[in-house]
Chain A
Amino acid sequence: MAFVLSEEQTMLRDMAKQFFSEQVPVTNLRKLRDDESDDGFDRDVWKQIVELGFAGILIPEDLGGTGFGPMGIGIVMQEAGRTLAASPLYSTAILGAGMIMAAGSESQKKDLLPQVAAGELLLALAIDEANHHNPLNIAMTATKDGGDFVLNGEKRFVIDGHTADKLIVAARTSGTSGDAQGISTFLVDADTAGVSITRTLMVDTRNAANIAFDNVKIPAVALLGGLDAAYPELENVLDMGRVCLSAEMLGGIETVFDTTLTYLKERKQFDAIIGTFQALQHRAAEMFCEVEICQSVVLDALSALEERRNDIPRAASLAKARLSEASRLITNEGVQMHGGIGMTDAVDVGLFLKRARVQAQMLGDANFHRSRYADLGGY
């Protein structure tokens, strides 16, 4: 049954919950921020994540992974989201590994995936070129030059772009921006000549980068997937990313909701616990419904991936749109219901608010996915 976790999945969830709450609590993110960490994540934590098998969770066992599949990684991301755990899981284990699995040749898979599972290779997927996600709007070019390709263009908001060892870059080998046909993807070492990476400090203190490609020469073997024809695989991987992000966002709103509810039961004003005020009770009840609905759309989208259903795009857009809206509502209410203290850096709710807005923009906000949902419905 899609909506009920199996015993194995429940064990995974309990293990992930314990790990993130004990080893990577929110204080971990605060420390990275306050120490102005160059990496933006904790290498020791990453090592532990790798040891738990999470880095190779999508990768089959014969290539060094644990093969737990999409439901598995979704469960892990939800738990990571509860504590705002910063790690390369999303960029490397989901998008990066996902893209290599979907489009890679046998030798690329054999070469790279075991390194990913072992935590030795960090990846980042470079797609967007404007301030809103749109994977069709790719203007960056890759032109043939003898046996090589030459890349020219700029990428924005590349998650974990400045810590990645290898970039997976979507570029145009034919057609014009807006066409699905003509998009190809390439594996580019981050230290290749002509690649300049600028880390961008985002409001959520997580990692992103702008990357410029100036006559970057790469060999033909760096092509990942078919020439001109990478878009279908790219879109599948983006959908997986969207669903996993939604799972991470779900973890975040669950924490904010629980924390806010606890506060409603503690704080006193007018000689009364503020949770006795009906204005707040009703808003809390509405949030409860919203969280329940979010759990349903995330679980459904994860099972769509798990079962390779043919409505994955629709389920993914439903989840990402819903979670983007719900996380806005719940983080705003979280701050409001805490009153003045909600505005302080000392309590965590503000950190969740900031993270939620970045997550909402990643791989398409509610507007993008609402429109995509309508397109998929033929209207």
Chain B
Amino acid sequence: MSDLETFRAETRAWLDKNCPDSIRTPMPEREMPWGGRNAKYPNPDTKIWMDNMASRGWTAPTWPAEYGGGGLSKEENKVLQEELARIKARPALTSFGLWMLGPALLEFASEEQKKKYIGEIVRGEIRWCQGYSEPGAGSDLAGLQTKAEDKGDHYLVNGQKVWTSYADQCDWIFCLVRTDNSVKHDGISFLLIDMDDPGVEARPIKLISGSSPFCETFLTDVKVPKENLVGELNKGWTIAKRLLEHERSMISGMGMGAGAASMGGMEAVAKENFGTDGERIADPSIRSAIADHKMDQQAFGLTMKRASEQAKAGQGMGAAASMFKYYGTEVNKRRFELLLDVMGTQALGWEGEGFDSKELAVTRSWLRSKGNSIEGGTSEVQLNVIAKRVLGLPTA
């Protein structure tokens, strides 16, 4: 047996023992494994699964083992992912720490910081949120004003962040702060802040989808120890941008993932609602719209696959992250609009009688999907990035 085959056999046996049965079923939103100090586990298996996977570092399979990651090679990770998919295992941990902060820390943080924070992320002990946007600084993120003053042994932070996803449930926040007023991009630093510290307050904001996953975050005279600065003073923008790339590739996955499950049944729902003509959906324009969308989705999936194969072969596709963020989120939004056409009034229920839970979930997900092309940099901003950085079009 080759090493990989051995690895597969061992992995399969281990998963068999360590992945609880309830974890092999579709995951309701309330059982999302976000981890953190305040985590609640309506299904206790969620925590068992997280701990089991974390014990091998497999919540972050390719991160270096010395900091608590799995230390797997790309090939081994592929095997692991295949084996997880085979048993339909839910993710062991979903977190901004895994998707965004961790990779940036591994690249930019000091040895002590990596030792402390990476392990906490891998084990799901600390739940992180992202303190980038401010009321006056969204697309023009570098215009941020939250300031951190040097007070000798600590920084004194004052300002306001906004759209901070899940801030009210998080433990720590990674923040962009202004440490020099005289320059724009070169006056920004990257700071880690414990949200239990005095002066940090998060207030939920209600969204069009009815839920309140994000907050206004106020920082008032917060004392932050100096060792919480990542990278050099005033060099935070580089880290910020790199982290955004990780965020964008995570969000663009939505073109394929999350909502795709509801999509699986779209043809069946259309057949039910519009009748059939032989095998075909009887309404030709709905049929054609569904085919169009499925082709779009397949083509997008192939492009993601091509990018990853080319990256492995050392041929970068260039600013791929922006392209995928733009295209993936737009595909995802179109999917929900189409689902509305297919389902008619049954996709427009808000709550209560007359709609089943899946239908109500579509309504909410449709509304939530509108944010996909705003969060992590808007579609317009992604197109700007492609135009300037990939196509080399000049700036006015």
Query: Quick check: is A202 within 8 A (CB to CB) of the other chain?
Result: no
Question: How many Å lie between the Cα of A275 and that of B386 in the bound state?
Answer: 13
| CB <8 Å contact, B295 and A321 | yes
Task: List B contacts of A285 (CB < 8 A).
Answer: 326, 382-384, 386-387, 390-391
A-B contact pairs, 6 of them (CB 8 A): A285-B384, A288-B391, A292-B323, A293-B299, A370-B288, A379-B280
Those of A15-29 within 8 Å (CB) of chain B: none
Interface of B is mostly: helix
Q: How far, in Å, is B301 (CB) from chain A's closest CB?
A: 9
CA separation between A47 and B51, bound complex, in Å? 69
- CA–CA, A299 and B310, complex, Å: 12
Q: Does any Cβ of A come within 8 Å of B149's Cβ?
A: no
Query: Does A346 count as interface, using CB distance less than 8 angstroms?
Result: no
Q: Are A275 and B394 in contact (CB under 8 A)?
A: yes
Known: A293-B300, A296-B302, A377-B291. A284 touches B270 (CB 8 A): no
Q: A296-B299, A374-B290 in contact; A379/B281 too (CB < 8 A)? A: yes
B267, CB-defined interface residue at 8 Å = yes
Q: Bound complex: CA of A264 vs CA of B313, how far in Å?
A: 32
Give the residue of A3, A275, A288, A371 whose beta carbon is less than 8 angstroms from that of B390.
A288
Further 8 A-B residue pairs, CB within 8 A, beyond A1-B313, A4-B310: A265-B393, A278-B384, A282-B380, A282-B384, A286-B383, A289-B386, A379-B270, A379-B280
Are B317 and A292 in contact (CB-based, < 8 A)? Answer: yes
If A374-B288, A374-B291, A379-B279 touch, whether A3 touches B393 (CB-CB below 8 Å) is: no
**Which 4 pairs show the lowest CB-CB distances between chains A and B?**
A281-B387, A285-B386, A379-B267, A374-B291
Interface status of A2 (Cβ within 8 A of chain B): yes
| In contact, A379 and B271 (Cβ under 8 angstroms) | yes
Q: Does B309 have its Cβ within 8 Å of any Cβ on chain A?
A: yes
Assess whether B299 is in contact with A318, with CB atoms less than 8 Å apart. Answer: yes
CB of A166 closer than 8 Å to a CB of B? no
Q: Residues of B contacting A299 with CB < 8 Å?
A: 306
A2 CB to closest chain B CB, in angstroms? Answer: 7
Please encode chain A, from 262 to 283, with 1 for each CB lying within 8 Å of some chain B CB and 0 for all others: 0011000000110111101110
Between B299, B313, B384, B394, the greatest number of chain A beta carbons within 10 A of the residue's beta carbon is seen for B299
Tell which of B287, B295, B323 touches A322, judged by Cβ atoms closer than 8 Å: B295
Which residue in B292, B303, B326 is a CB contact (below 8 Å) of A370?
Answer: B292
Q: Which residue of B lies closest to A270 (CB)?
A: B396
Contact assessment for B387 and A370 in the assembled complex, using a CB-CB cutoff below 8 Å? no
Q: What separation, in Å, do the CA atoms of A2 and B310 have in the docked complex?
A: 10
Q: Which residues of B contact A278 (CB under 8 A)?
A: 384, 387
Query: Across the interface, do B267 and A288 meet the contact criterion of CB distance under 8 Å?
Result: no
Q: Which residues of the partner chain A approach B394 to less than 8 Å between Cβ atoms?
A: 265, 273, 275-276
A3:B305 contact, CB within 8 angstroms: yes
Q: Could you tell me if B305 and A284 are in contact, using CB atoms closer than 8 angstroms?
A: no
Is the beta-carbon distance between A374 and B287 smaller than 8 angstroms? yes
Chain A contact patch, size range: 35 or more
Contact of B295 among A2, A275, A318 (CB under 8 A): A318
Q: Cβ of A297 and Cβ of B302 under 8 Å apart?
A: yes
- Complex interface: chain B residues within 8 A of A378 (CB): 267, 279
Within A110-159, the residues touching B (CB, 8 Å) are none
Q: Which residue on chain B has the smallest CB distance to residue A321?
A: B295
Which of B270, B288, B309 meets A3, CB within 8 Å?
Answer: B309
**Does B298 sit at the interface, judged by CB under 8 A?**
yes
Q: Which residues of B contact A (CB under 8 A)?
A: 267, 270-271, 279-281, 287-288, 290-292, 294-295, 298-300, 302-303, 305-306, 309-310, 312-313, 315, 317, 323, 326-327, 380, 382-384, 386-388, 390-396
A258 to chain B, nearest CB (A): 10
Is there contact, CB below 8 Å, between A371 and B393? no
A371 in contact with B310 given A282-B387, A284-B393 (CB within 8 Å): no
Residues of chain A with a CB closer than 8 A to B393's CB: 261, 264-265, 275-276, 280-281, 284
Let me know if A284 and B391 touch, CB within 8 A: yes
A354-368 to B contact mask, C-beta < 8 Å, 1/0: 000000000000010
What B residues does A196 contact at CB under 8 A? Answer: none
Q: Are B295 and A370 in contact (CB under 8 A)?
A: yes
Across-interface contacts of A200 in B (CB, < 8 A): none
Contact A375 B279 (CB under 8 A): yes
Specify which chain B residues have a CB less than 8 angstroms from the CB of A322 in the assembled complex: 295, 299
Is B305 within 8 A of A371, CB to CB? no
Measured between beta carbons, the chain B residues less than 8 angstroms from A9 are none
How long is the Cα–Cα vector from A293 to B383 in the complex, in angstroms?
16
Known contacts A2-B309, A4-B315, A379-B267; is-contact A297 B299 (Cβ 8 Å): yes
Judged by a CB distance under 8 angstroms, whether A300 is at the interface is yes
- Does chain B have a CB within 8 A of A373? yes
Chain A residues whose C-beta falls within 8 Å of the C-beta of B380 in the assembled complex: 282
Task: Look across to chain B and name the residue whose beta carbon is closest to the beta carbon of A280.
Answer: B393
* Chain B CB within 8 A of A295 CB: yes
CB distance from B271 to the nearest CB of A (A): 7
Among candidates A261, A288, A371, A377, residue contacting B294 with C-beta atoms closer than 8 Å: A377
The CA of A378 and the CA of B265, in the complex, are separated in Å by: 12
CA distance A289 to B310 in the complex (A): 16
- Nearest-Cβ distance from residue B305 to partner chain A, whole angstroms: 7
> Which residues of A, 48-65, contact B by the 8 Å Cβ criterion?
none
CA distance A134 to B48 in the complex (A): 58
B142 CB, min distance to chain A CBs, angstroms = 19
Residues of A within 8 A of B292 (CB): 370
Using Cβ atoms and an 8 Å threshold, which residues of chain A touch B271? Answer: 379
